[in-house]
Structure 1
Amino acid sequence: MREITPRDNKGSIIIRFTYSGKEYCFSPLPGSKYADKFALAKAKEIASNIRNDCMAGYFDPTLTKYKPNALQGRTKEAAIRDAEDARAEYEARLSVNAVDLLQLFEDYTLFKSKTLASNSMIDYDRIKNKIRRCPHKLVRDAVQIMQWLVNDHKGTSTSSLEKQWKLINACCKWGVSTDKLQSNPFEDKKNLIPSTKNTGTRDDINPFSDNERKRIIQAFYASDSYKYYAPLVEFLFTTGCRPEEALALQWKHVKGAKITFCQKLTASGEIEAGTKTQSKRSITINDQLRNVVEGIKPVKCDQDDFIFPAKKGGNIDWHNFANRAWKSVLGTLPDIEYRNPYQMRHTAITEMVRSGNDSAMVARWVGNSANMIVKRYLGDVSDIVMPCG
């Protein structure tokens, strides 16, 4: 607990502190001045007693114990009764959400395992290992747990921290709904994750040129470290589908040259039915892309296996891909302006329109309205010559 010290409030003495989420502020010696050394010394003694009581569990929330003048005329029995009441209140607060987080998360994982794809369980296991190493064990210690996760985090991207918070938060929401918890102390703790500088968002419309697109795809195939992702990059640059749709594709969704998008990978690593705007849509890919897809299909694979899995199994972490593979490969192409990988979708849609395809048809291919294609996803076509009348 932080030190508690008297403060100068326009010449008078006050003590302000927070305990168990509640802020307290009072004058321990009404009428005394901050400049009075004897009064200030007495106030420091009172502040020290408050801190010691808080740490020992004997804090008096009525503050009567810490107001010397207020103790005049009080009986010993009354003082003991107040102390017992304060102790009871403290113990009652400690009992709230005094649930082992690891056990709760294991119960939640078991509950989710009934609906999650087996590969998605990898993320849950990773977070369980994190919780197991954390020195703070109870759900009520949400602040300390989040601070430990932040301090334990390696790297500059906070996407994995956000995923950890989302899954733990979802776990505690489930805990409340099943009466295992009185409340969810993680609900408002996302702000404890430090923000990182954004290098471009989905809303930035700045597509690559056709030449840049081809060079980026070639650079991925030529990369010793990241060529594993080359088929995914080519697929996204060609189809214009959303990354979360591609990462959720399974082999059962491919029938020859026809691919059906009917689910998406959420930020918390779960597979949800439907795409962002519709329940499903199908496209027919060209021979070149069909060869790419068939080229990465294992000789022996289950129909429920993902087409674009992570190297070690499970789903690809899009944020890790963006901050490692994407940045590294584009770093080898210094003459190409860096842009967020979501620009692969913008680029594909822009090229479809440039090729003379009707906006309504493009909208059906990529899962949006024709109006939205023109309004948001159509990139710069200022270099296209207008037809003469």
Structure 2
Amino acid sequence: MGSQRKASKGTVKIKTSNDRLQLVFSFGGKRHYLSTGFTDSKANRKLAEMKARQIELDILCNNFDVTLERYKPQSEQVVFTPSSENKTYTSLADLWDSYTEYKQSSLSPSTLAKDYHKIYRCINVHLPVRTLDKAIAIRDWLIANRTPRSAKKILTQFSACCNWAVKSQLIEDNPFEDMASDIKLPKGNFEETDINPFSLEERDRIIQAFKENRYYKH
């Protein structure tokens, strides 16, 4: 009974249906069954778990996409080209979610909300492309739309994320390696104000969400 009540508040469960991993959760009084498109394997369960955490956080932060487009397999930006038929490109959004999940035990909720979720918003709200094969386009967009200091910091974070993913055998190489070092900072450029800071209310809500889901979760 208690687990059902918890699920009604936004907990996402992972089940297997037709040999595919499925996300099951309730929102707005409606039960949702969302296929991830992934077969049931250890690596794919990691991807499904981070997608589940994304949905949970979006629900808790009142940022849930009621159309579900953000969470469907096509939102992973699977790209097909004539020269590489059936090739799937890794989602930066997915890797960042998984990396945040990995780092959260060593970070305070305020750091997660202030720094890591800013990067999450940059990826999911602002970047025009979000797959690792578009790393150069992502770098060019950051340089054009962020201050040099901000672009350098974000690329440093992306590189750290991908280094972790390589060590975790999620990807083969790091496309963001050394990109940040190519950005030269103007002298006196100490301020960084272009990553859409949260309101105090929004930040408090995110911190509380992490506390409830991470520190008090069985």
TM-score interval for Structure 1 and Structure 2 normalised by the shorter chain: 0.3 to 0.5
- Greater relative CO, 1 or 2 (CA 8 Å, sep 6+): 2
TM-score by length of 1: 0.26
Structure label with greater radius of gyration: 1
